[in-house]
Structure 1
Amino acid sequence: MAEQKLLDVVIVGYGPVGQSLSILLGERGYRVAAFDRWPALYPLPRAVFHDHEIRRVFHAMGLGQDVEKISQPSATYQWFNAEWKTLVEIDWSAESISDGPVGYLFNQPSLEALFDSKAKSLPTVSVQQGWEATAVHQHTDYCEVSLREGTMVDGTWTPTGNTQTVRARYVVGADGANSFVRKSAGIAVDDLGFQEDWLVIDLKPNEGVKLDVPDIGQWCNPARPTTMVPGGPGLRRWEFMRLPHESLDDLQKPEKVWELLSPWVTPADATLVRHAVYTFRSLLAKNWHSGRIVLAGDAAHQMPPFMGQGMCSGLRDAWNLAWRFDLILRGITSPGLLESYTPERRPQVRAVIEASIAMGQVVCISDPVQAARRDAAYLAGDVPPLPPFPGLSGGLICTHQPFSCDTPAGLLSVHGQIRTGDATSRFDDAMPNGFHVITLDADPAHYLDAASQNALERIGGRATGMTTDAAKAVAGHILLDASGKYQRFFDEHGVKAIIVRPDYYIFGAVKDLADLPALLGDLTSRLGADLDTLTAHARSGEQALA
């Protein structure tokens, strides 16, 4: 890569978040360079769970069927006390709003291999592994990133002496918990107070071995809080909390590992893939955006694993950034659109972290008296159920009157099977990604005047009707709600139309279709009223900087 070539986005960090953002931008044709300190992908398991929303992202990346081959639907998530009495059941196998079960289990190295292959196949994406960022400087119209090359010598990252400097309109720090980009931008971090050491063990049962173990669960045993979960097809994971009297060194000895596993599995039954102690933390960057520098993934947040949302939250960051960068780089909106990134992502992630901490505080009880009180409360039904997964509470959503009253703005939108003509498919497979106006049992063209339709087209959106009445369906225009999920969702919220953002979150909704032009007008005005000026400005800026 020529040193002075202006890129659209430089991504520092090439884990799942950096990989997915590279794909999402590269598929849109943007010039992206991803750099990672390590010369090769990390080969051992880490994350094992993704939810239904993230499965939709995989479909949007063109990897839905490939991910399906390396993952399995989750069973019910169960919490047991020391006597194996059920305290909590969370049905992750239930039908979700996204047309499939709530959750899935997978092996992260297999997932990253898919991401890596896809990213490197895109002609506008450059992936350079073995390059460490050493400086990030912001200028008025671009950022400059200095990097040095390194290689592994006897297990130690060692500089080769080669360096390079690249320029890009934006820099994304997806470089993990110790993010160099975050520190370079001077962004502080809030500690929400959770910190526990856990031994994480991954193993592969021998062929034909059937383990007598809950499929996915927490054993809330004060003598040793324990997590048991599939590690993806053909793999299993155990996690054991370090007790106060134990040292980290003692916990990682192979004989200790097999001692802890002995109630369920022996060395004759399985091969140990890896074991390591992790410190589960709860950290949240105060701001995720500073000028032309943006944070994503562990660079912006860390959380306990009890909700399985660590990687999921990072992929939501990438998904949220992808459509923002798309609108900015196409000149549809100004760089000010990034100002709503933190108000959207930070409150949602904070709510997820706080829920994960609450779950961890239930699991991580090592005092028998406290555990007995916990058990009694759960077994008596005195503990309220977990709150629903949080949506968006700020940012680019319509929360003002007359649209905010009892409407689903900020929630993840419904997704289901639709039929257009003779073809039945997923909505996001049949329709291009972008803003969508969806009306129920009505032709949206009857309610959007020429100016509204023109504005929708100019932000890359489209209007579609949805009906459960096959006689009212019009191929490509009014779709048949084959599963009835859209009808149920609209009826549940008492709305007649919704505007869905490119990341599948609802911008706003109306109860009266006569209000639809005003709702669309609110969206387009917040994206930038003078679209012609913005487009011309973006093009002239590209010519000046290229």
Structure 2
Amino acid sequence: MTAYVREVPVVIVGGGPTGLTAANLLAAYGVEFLLLEREAAPLNLPRAIVLDDEGARTLQVFGLDKTYVAQTLEGVGSRYYSDAGVCFAETGAGPRTYGFSKRQYIYQPEMEAALRSRLEEQAPGALRFSSEVTAIACANGKAHVTVRDAQGAVHEIVADWVLACDGGKSPIRELLGIEMHGNTYEQDWIVLDTLDDPDTSAFSKFFCSNERPAVSVPAPNGGRRYEFMLLPGETREQVLDSGFLARLLQPFRVHDEKKIVRKTVYTFHARIAERFRDDRIVLLGDAAHLTPPFAGQGMNAGLRDAHNVTWKIAATLKGGADASILDSFETERRKPIWDMIQLAVTMGNVVMPMDEDALRFRDHLLRALEPFPAVKDYLVQMRFKPKPRHPGGLYLDLDAPKFEASLVGEMIPQPDIRTNGAPGPLDSALGTGFALIAQDETGAEALAALEDTDLLGLPLEKLCLGAGEGRGIRSGRRSMTAFQAAPC
């Protein structure tokens, strides 16, 4: 029997990184919501281990850049080793194009705790544990969500929108009958998270062996993650035995069960949902797509989803935008998601060959590229990683840009600027909503004459950028770190 019916603008299902990020973003936009988590308490499992620069920029919207992100372990690059122990390639940290290091290594329970803490500050009581969604349906522009609580009581929640952030086995996706397409890796992988590791380097290390590929990844607090591919005939029970693990770890460290935070076997997937939206229900994160871990993009893809969806929901609820703008979520995200999945697959196949032919091809290719360092660098540094750019969606002149260097549809860089003499990242001046930027006197005058302070229910910031003293203009474009800014 249903105990009561409650109405709320948004229901988020799933209290992992994607759901918590979506909740914090909605709170920053001033949208009421409930976040439902089936488990009775946080899982506290170190699953994701990389926060990339785009993900960190999303957390910046609600202030975690100054607290949690500032305390993460910045990566310095990657090294790739042959069976003989020779480092045949190395990548660097790369530029801080979007205001953060390309990779921050995280301990997921700490990140989730920081997200929950910030959420409690912004929207006290919005997170509900022991809340299992048992049924969901849409009618007359509303979603009807049936929820069972810890006492077994059943409640109905009526919402304008439901964000399904309930993981790779998404019960909501199953209830809606949405299929996943793609591939599942034949090879399973052992994943070990350790404490007090003797390897304190901030490099990720790829052991590109044709015998047993392995990965070693830095972790915060002096820990490290090790991943080993299972070989044909090995079982999950066998490879998680202490004696077996001791032999695997022997080249890296002494095995000590007390220093193992988690040991598990993963099956890697490269799959994507046939659709991301069903009426008033939107799939985000692992519920919508699953990626192999080689590019460190699984969790980060979910954070991008949350950032894309939440402002549009805020626009429909606060600014009167039509619900059809949510169709742009899939238009903007599907291709970048699939491109990133294919990048991860390529890294798995090229960087970590699993048979003699693939190993020989990789080695011959790298030797052949020695006279062409720029091409080798492009391959080894994975510079074919898709840029954060949308191929379609809510943009003007996306297909016919007025300038060759147009940034329409792309994530703009985030330089450091000075606002009224105080230094800070660009986004701190742009705010949480829309922004208009002027770079010359005419533009500044136009913005100064504009009285609007919001757009579609979200704040509208106006900023004037100019070259600072001694910084000048380079090649007709302003230096990335050369800006002085002032409110218009």
TM-score by length of 1: 0.79
Rounded to whole Å, the distance in 1 between the matches of 2:147 and 2:477 is 49
8 A contact 1:416–1:483 mirrored in 2: no
8 A contact 1:12–1:35 mirrored in 2: yes
Rounded to whole Å, the distance in 1 between the matches of 2:282 and 2:416 is 35
Aligned to 1:544: none
Aligned to 2:359: 371
Report the CA distance between 1:184 and its aligned residue. Answer: 2.2
Aligned to 2:188: 197
Structure 1 residue 177 and structure 2 residue 168: aligned?
yes
Distance 1:104 1:78, change over 3 A: same
Aligned to 1:499: none
Q: Which moved more, 1:218-227 or 1:69-78?
A: 69-78
Rounded to whole Å, the distance in 2 between the matches of 1:3 and 1:84 is 64
Structure 1 residue 275 and structure 2 residue 273: aligned?
no
Report the CA distance between 1:8 and its aligned residue. Answer: 0.9
AA of the residue aligned to 2:194: L
Q: How far does the alpha carbon of each residue in 1:210-253 deviate from its partner, in whole angstroms, 9 at most, with x for none?
A: 33878312100111100100122321110001111312221111
Structure 1 residue 303 and structure 2 residue 291: aligned?
yes
Rounded to whole Å, the distance in 2 between the matches of 1:413 and 1:401 is 18
8 A contact 2:434–2:455 mirrored in 1: no
Structure 2 residue corresponding to 1:240, chosen from 228, 251, 261 = 228
AA of the residue aligned to 2:247: E
Structure 1 residue corresponding to 2:302, chosen from 314, 317, 325 = 314
Report the CA distance between 1:110 and its aligned residue. Answer: 0.5
Distance 1:231 1:376, change over 3 A: same
Distance 1:320 1:195, change over 3 A: farther
8 A contact 1:440–1:490 mirrored in 2: no
- Alignment of structure 1 residues 140-179 onto 2, 5 Å: 140-150=140-150, 160-179=151-170
8 A contact 1:466–1:486 mirrored in 2: no
Aligned to 1:326: 314
Query: Aligned-residue CA RMSD in angstroms?
Result: 2.9
Rounded to whole Å, the distance in 2 between the matches of 1:101 and 1:232 is 15
Rounded to whole Å, the distance in 2 between the matches of 1:441 and 1:429 is 21
Rounded to whole Å, the distance in 2 between the matches of 1:21 and 1:11 is 8
Q: How far does the alpha carbon of each residue in 1:58-77 deviate from its partner, in whole angstroms, 9 at most, with x for none?
A: 22121112213541110111
AA of the residue aligned to 1:469: G
Distance 1:481 1:203, change over 3 A: farther
Q: How far does the alpha carbon of each residue in 1:108-163 deviate from its partner, in whole angstroms, 9 at most, with x for none?
A: 0010111112223334652111121110010113111112235xxxxxxxxx5322
Q: Which moved more, 1:349-358 or 1:68-77?
A: 68-77
SS at 1:97's partner residue? coil
Rounded to whole Å, the distance in 2 between the matches of 1:97 and 1:481 is 20
Rounded to whole Å, the distance in 2 between the matches of 1:433 and 1:481 is 29
8 A contact 2:35–2:127 mirrored in 1: yes
Structure 1 residue 8 and structure 2 residue 6: aligned?
no
8 A contact 2:417–2:426 mirrored in 1: yes
Distance 1:485 1:32, change over 3 A: farther
Rounded to whole Å, the distance in 1 between the matches of 2:355 and 2:455 is 61
SS at 1:53's partner residue? helix
Aligned to 1:78: 79
Distance 1:10 1:466, change over 3 A: same
Structure 2 residue corresponding to 1:293, chosen from 270, 281, 284 = 281
Structure 2 residue corresponding to 1:458, chosen from 439, 455, 458 = 455
Rounded to whole Å, the distance in 2 between the matches of 1:464 and 1:170 is 33
Seq. identity, %: 27
- Alignment of structure 1 residues 16-35 onto 2, 5 Å: 16-35=17-36
Q: How far does the alpha carbon of each residue in 1:400-453 deviate from its partner, in whole angstroms, 9 at most, with x for none?
A: 335375522222101111112221111222332222222334442445696xx4
AA of the residue aligned to 1:105: Y
Aligned to 1:504: none
Q: Mind listing any 5+ residue stretches in structure 2 that lack a counterpart?
A: 370-374, 483-488
Rounded to whole Å, the distance in 2 between the matches of 1:328 and 1:212 is 48
8 A contact 1:202–1:237 mirrored in 2: yes
AA of the residue aligned to 1:319: H
TM-score by length of 2: 0.88
- Alignment of structure 1 residues 332-351 onto 2, 5 Å: 332-351=320-339
Report the CA distance between 1:303 and its aligned residue. Answer: 0.3
8 A contact 1:37–1:130 mirrored in 2: yes
Q: How far does the alpha carbon of each residue in 1:276-334 deviate from its partner, in whole angstroms, 9 at most, with x for none?
A: 00101011012111210001010001000111010000011111112111111112411
Rounded to whole Å, the distance in 1 between the matches of 2:142 and 2:172 is 15
SS at 1:463's partner residue? strand
Aligned to 1:353: 341
8 A contact 1:435–1:462 mirrored in 2: yes
Aligned to 2:394: 396
SS at 1:257's partner residue? helix
Rounded to whole Å, the distance in 1 between the matches of 2:472 and 2:3 is 51
Aligned to 1:219: 207
Aligned to 1:108: 108
Q: Could you say which structure has the greater relative contact order, defined with CA pairs below 8 angstroms and 6 or more residues apart? A: 2
Distance 1:420 1:191, change over 3 A: same
Rounded to whole Å, the distance in 2 between the matches of 1:2 and 1:85 is 65
8 A contact 1:418–1:482 mirrored in 2: no
Report the CA distance between 1:454 and its aligned residue. Answer: 5.8
AA of the residue aligned to 1:187: I
SS at 2:221's partner residue? coil
Rounded to whole Å, the distance in 2 between the matches of 1:192 and 1:268 is 35
Distance 1:194 1:95, change over 3 A: same
8 A contact 1:170–1:292 mirrored in 2: yes
